[in-house]
Amino acid sequence: MSANHRPPAIGILGTGSYLPPKVLTNFDLEKMVDTTDEWIRTRTGIRERHIVEEGQACSDLGAEAGRRACEAAGVDPEEIDLIICATFTPDTFCPSTACFIQHKIGNKRAFAYDLSAACSGFSYAVTTARHFLASGLYRRALVIGSEAMSRFINWKDRNTCVLFGDGAGAVVLGEVPEGKGILSEYLGADGEGWDQIIIPGCGSRRPATPDALEQNLQYLEMKGNDVFKFAVRIVGEAVEKALAGTGLTQADIDWLIPHQANIRIIEAAGKRLNLPKERLVVNLDRTGNTSAATIPIALDEIVREGKVKDGDIVALVAFGGGLTWGANILRW
């Protein structure tokens, strides 16, 4: 691409999401671990979450969300050139979940791979796909955040099992009119916080030996207080960094779609950015934390409800294990 050639504007052509039908409420959890509905609601804002059925995996959720996004975009799945699945709960370590999804939606032309940035994965994947498409070498990308969190949760650990749910969200990206689409992004990572959100076992460092499984190293572990402090700081900061250079201010944001981890984190972000509650998109009361899927699920919901209008400024922001964070600013 020549220095004088402006890359095309890339934006969202369609959205889709899928939540497995099985619902696990806080009252169900009261029968499983030492907790209460009131404790969960007051500290997290979560009332219920969706859980995969027996035999259902990450790619099943992602493929359904992907099909719905393609349908909304008016794009045949065969026309997709790139598939990125943001997940850290893959069907298998090899092959990638994205390849399973490619097969399930009937696509044979796309290159496909998984991206692992925990709960920030969707923001990372949207940014990556945007620049692939802006190169002019590819026309359409399917970006999916899909997680089967329940497969990696210790249901005897009340510190984590009350937080997470399963689901998938997806967007189709392609060229949009100049001035619209993805305007900017801001990504970051701090590997010094590697131990704050981690699945310690079943990788190359601590393989899936009987001893590792006996120690429950195959399950997610989290230092909740440390993560909370990090998230409260980084969410507002990431949005501010992403806005820089766009000519927009916090007051221009019509919709803030934050990672759905904790209502107190979301409210703190809204306060820092001086956004009224009606501009904050919240659905964690019904979905729990679906990691990389939270933002595209929430986005799909408000799009299908007709809340997002032409020209609206939408800010996406996430944080997650790594530690990682990311924000994207879009004009609808």
Residue span of the structural domain in which 289 resides:
182-331
pLDDT the model gives residue 6 = 79
Element (H, E) at 329: strand 324-331
Closest residue by Cα to residue 183 from 331, 2, 18? 331
Q: Strand 48-50 relative to strand 82-86: parallel, antiparallel, unpaired?
A: unpaired
Task: Give mean pLDDT in consecutive 10-residue pieces for the chain, a chain of 332 residues.
Answer: 73 98 98 96 97 97 98 98 98 97 98 98 98 96 98 95 98 97 98 96 94 94 94 96 95 98 96 96 98 98 98 98 98 98
- First-to-last alpha carbon distance for the chain, in angstroms, is 26
Report the C-alpha gap between 147 and 91 in whole angstroms: 10
**Which tens digit of pLDDT belongs to each residue from 262-300?**
999 999 999 999 999 999 999 999 999 999 999 999 999
Sequence-distant (6+) residues with CB within 8 A of 287 are 19, 49, 50, 165, 167, 260, 294, 297
State the DSSP code for 223.
-
Is 196 among the domain residues? yes
User: Within this chain, do residues 158 and 224 fall inside the same structural domain, yes or no?
Assistant: no
Instruction: Mark whether 174 and 186 lie in a shared domain.
Output: no
Sign of CA dihedral 229, 190, 272, 274: negative
Residue 2 is assigned to a structural domain of this protein = no
Of residues 302, 59, 270, 29, the one with CA closest to residue 163: 29
- Token pair belonging to 36: 């209460």
DSSP-assigned letters across all residues of 129-140: HHHHHHTTS---
- Whether residues 26 and 167 share a domain: the answer is yes
Q: Tell whether 60 is covered by a domain.
A: yes
What is the predicted pLDDT for the residue at 322?
95
325, 86 in Cβ contact below 8 A? no
Predicted pLDDT at 84: 98
Position 245 scores a pLDDT of 87
For position 267, which CATH number holds? 3.40.47.10
139, 158, 178 - which closes a domain: 178
Number of domains within the chain:
2
The answer on 187 and 143 residing in a single domain is: no
Boundary residue ending a domain (119, 144, 178)? 178
Q: Report pLDDT for 4.
A: 60
CA count, 13 A, side-chain hemisphere, 283: 21
Instruction: List active site positions.
Output: 119, 259, 289
User: 161 in a domain, yes or no?
Assistant: yes
Tokens at 243, concatenated: 């806005």
**pTM of the model as a whole:** 0.96
